[in-house]
Structure 1
Amino acid sequence: MKDAIWGTAQRWFPDRQIYHRSDGQVRYFAISTGLQISALLSAAVLACWLCFTTVSVAFHGAALAEKDQEVDAMQREAERIVAEARANEVSARAFVTSQMQTFDETAVEFEVRHERLRRLLDFVERISGDEIMPSPTGSDGSVLMAATPADPAPREARDIPVSVAALSDSPEDQINFLMSEQDVALARAENATEAQLENLRAILRLTDLDIEDVVASERDSEEQGGPFLPISESGFAPGIELDGQFEGRINRIAARLMEVNELEQFAAQGPFGPPISVPHRRTSGFGLRRDPFNGRPTQHRGLDYGAYRRAPIVATGPGEVIYAGWRGGYGRTVEIDHGYGFVTRYAHLHEIAVRRGDSVERGQQIGGMGSTGRSTATHLHYEIWYNGSAIDPDRLLRAGRYVQ
């Protein structure tokens, strides 16, 4: 069988020689049956492979095109995701930058507010030398009590905010909490200042004087000058502007404190004390009365007090002695200038313990009670003059009862 097949192959593909002549020489190549069969089989296999691949491409071209479209779609989606991620990154960076800028501005605002409050407290210390108290205090240490049976209940500014700083580690929350505490402290200072001012006004209204005019007259008479620098201007972080409400409250409290300081100075400087430091009695009032010598109606421009001979007569307020000596019907007399347009006169003294130009304090002895001049018996004639006119001393003594 094998020999038959090989014989058939030899018939179909006999051995062949290919002669080649060159330069007078003849050469030949022998192509055997086996080589021919191998070449034929190789050509057949190659042809089959070409047919297979052609058919395969023909049948699978659409699938390959669809795959290519899917790959392109996936590539486009990947590019979209990358672009979106980059955009999100840029947005996140911008947000973080904005938040940091906001935080920095908040921190700077907190520092500015803190500086404003510090300057306000320094201002309080300069004009009062102490913390704000519910009841006003005079510069000489005396306490001014309200002209009512008791001080009203202290007013609460508002509820203290919840300490979010203790609940959160966020610096922004802690700054906001501290700013809230600043607002609470500011509100308490504002309320305390208002209460202090109302207290002083209530006391000084008892004098029946226009207190604004009294304080303004002393303010205008002082030698002062310099550039105008509002209390809210700290020179700290220029260009940072706080909200108008905070600035307004700072300026309002500063203005109220100035007014409190002026009223306290007047309360401490004015002739509000009693002119006698020992038990005494009033023997004659202010105004129209019958003259003790001739019985005719006369205008009495002071108060008369009776006590014992040489009873200590004291200054009713701090000031400067502008007269000490004999003055006609007043006898031995001392006159003291207390500022604010007030001058007090102490007449009919037995002796005088001060000299002209001396500075005296409230309660300091300036002489002893006597009966010199136009007098019927031992007593003190006490006058208060305001801007050149005699006023009823009771008007200041009423207020003086609340300067303890």
Structure 2
Amino acid sequence: MKEAVWGTAQRWFPDRQIYHRSDGQVRYFAISTGVQIGALLSATVLAGWLCFTTVSVAFHGRALAAKDAELERERINYHRMVAEAQANEATVISFMESRMEEFDRTAYEFQMRHETLRQLVDFAEQLTGQDMEPSPALDDGRVLMAATPADPTPREARDPLVNVAALSSDAPEDQISYLMGEQDTVLAQAEDATEARLQNLRAVLRLTGLNIEDVIAENREGEERGGPFEPISASDFIATPSSAAGVELDDAFSSRIARIAARLLEVEELEEFVDAGPLGVPIGDTYRQTSDFGVRIDPFNGRPTPHRGMDFAAYRRAPIIATGPGRVIYAGWRSGYGRCVEIDHGYGFVTRYGHLHEIAVRRGDTVERGQRIGGMGSTGRSTATHLHYEIWYNGSAIDPERLLRAGQYVQQG
């Protein structure tokens, strides 16, 4: 078998000689069957290896390409996830910033509301009006004013269950909402108290029979004031105007503040008139009224004649007091009045005190309500010891009974 195979191999690959001639010399190389078979096997192995490596490289390249594609997909997916995470982070940060800005704005608005309420209350407490009787009544017993500023009818607070729920919640929004609701309750109570005070003042001053709006307006015209007109707003009650820059309180709150502020300013003006007007009694002791304002029979000639004041009788040298604060514009003898004192109270009001026994003030003096300005007497055109008391408004005599009746509801502090 071996010989047959070798014989076949010799037939296919017989011994060969390769001649090589160079520079006149001939050389040859003998290539035996074994060398040829070895070369063929080597070539076959090399070709097989090349094919194998080629196929391996081809398949490995495809695998590498697939791996690279998978890696690329993973990289793209990774970048996408990172981008989504960054976008989510930016969204969360933006949301948190917006919530923080909203919370800061709400908290600042709450602070401004609180400061506004505090200054509104301080402004109300600075009003220096006199305490007033709660219910001035007319002759037929009808009540002019049933509510009192010291005890206004309180508005109902918000639902107590909602308040309890807000108090039990730890959320800042709920706490601020609750506190703002409480501020609204305080604002409502302040509004009620201010309105009650204003209506009570109007009811009392209505007893004077005068147009109080005209009296107040005349006082404004007589004062040294000026400046451009600007409507009142809630920001006018903020202590530092720059701190309110960029912050707008809600319209309802601002409207209520402006409304209450306007009411408080009106209360202040009316209380200033109550303080300054001649609403007091001109005798500082027990007295009796002896003559009314109007037409009467003259005690000297028995003829009807206008009586521009009221007469009050008491003992000789009974204290005659100023019925309101003001400045003495006359102190001396006046025909028909005897010793006489005249006081300018502003608002167009001048009071005149006649038939005095002595005068305790001089022209130019400033007097307070209740201050003694003289003693009762019977000087001038008088039949007996008494005080002749007149009130003049814008140059016309008015019935002092009107202001005395209103003054009965103004208690001196």
| TM-score w.r.t. length of structure 1 | 0.76
Name the amino acid aligned to 2:342. Answer: E
Aligned residue among 245, 249, 259 for 1:252: 259
Q: What residue ranges of structure 1 are gaps of 5+ in the alignment? A: none
> CA–CA distance in 1 between the matches of 2:97 and 2:146?
61
| Distance change (3 Å), C-alpha of 1:185 and 1:149 | closer
> CA–CA distance in 1 between the matches of 2:8 and 2:181?
112
Contact (CA 8 Å) 2:152, 2:193: kept in 1 or not? no
| Distance change (3 Å), C-alpha of 1:78 and 1:355 | closer
> CA–CA distance in 2 between the matches of 1:39 and 1:181?
104
Alignment of 1:139-288 (within 5 A): 142-146=130-134, 147=136, 148=145, 151=148, 153-156=152-155, 158-159=157-158, 162=163, 164=166, 167-170=169-172, 176=177, 179-228=180-229, 230-231=231-232, 232-233=235-236, 234-288=241-295
Deviation at 1:21, TM superposition (A): 4.0
Aligned twin of 2:410: 403
Identity, % of aligned positions:
55
Which range moves more in the overlay, 352-361 or 174-183?
Answer: 174-183
Alignment of 1:363 onto 2:370: yes
Name the amino acid aligned to 2:189. Answer: R
Q: Deviation string for 1:97-136 (max 9, x for gaps)? A: 54445445445545555565566566x2xxx6x357xxxx
Aligned twin of 1:350: 357
> CA–CA distance in 2 between the matches of 1:183 and 1:49?
91
Q: Root-mean-square deviation (CA), in Å?
A: 4.2
Deviation at 1:45, TM superposition (A): 7.8
Contact (CA 8 Å) 2:295, 2:306: kept in 1 or not? yes
Q: Deviation string for 1:22-44 (max 9, x for gaps)? A: 45533345526995896699599
Name the amino acid aligned to 1:207. Answer: T
> CA–CA distance in 1 between the matches of 2:50 and 2:365?
140
Q: What residue ranges of structure 2 are gaps of 5+ in the alignment? A: 137-144
> CA–CA distance in 2 between the matches of 1:47 and 1:326?
148
Name the amino acid aligned to 2:131. Answer: V
Q: Deviation string for 1:117-166 (max 9, x for gaps)? A: 566566x2xxx6x357xxxx42xxx3223335762543237438738487
Name the amino acid aligned to 1:285. Answer: D
> CA–CA distance in 1 between the matches of 2:389 and 2:67?
119
Aligned twin of 1:308: 315
Alignment of 1:74-153 (within 5 A): 85=85, 87-106=87-106, 109-110=109-110, 113=113, 116-117=116-117, 120=120, 124=123, 130=125, 137-138=128-129, 142-146=130-134, 147=136, 148=145, 151=148, 153=152
Which range moves more in the overlay, 262-271 or 105-114?
Answer: 105-114
Kindly tell me the number of residue pairs found equivalent between the two proteins. Answer: 377
Deviation at 1:374, TM superposition (A): 2.2
Aligned twin of 2:29: 27
Per the alignment, in what secondary structure is the counterpart of residue 163 of structure 2? coil
Q: Deviation string for 1:9-58 (max 9, x for gaps)? A: 434445965544445533345526995896699599879979x99xxx9x
Per the alignment, in what secondary structure is the counterpart of residue 320 of structure 1? strand
Contact (CA 8 Å) 1:371, 1:378: kept in 2 or not? yes
Per the alignment, in what secondary structure is the counterpart of residue 196 of structure 1? helix
| TM-score w.r.t. length of structure 2 | 0.74
> CA–CA distance in 2 between the matches of 1:186 and 1:28?
126
Contact (CA 8 Å) 2:152, 2:196: kept in 1 or not? no
Aligned twin of 1:10: 6
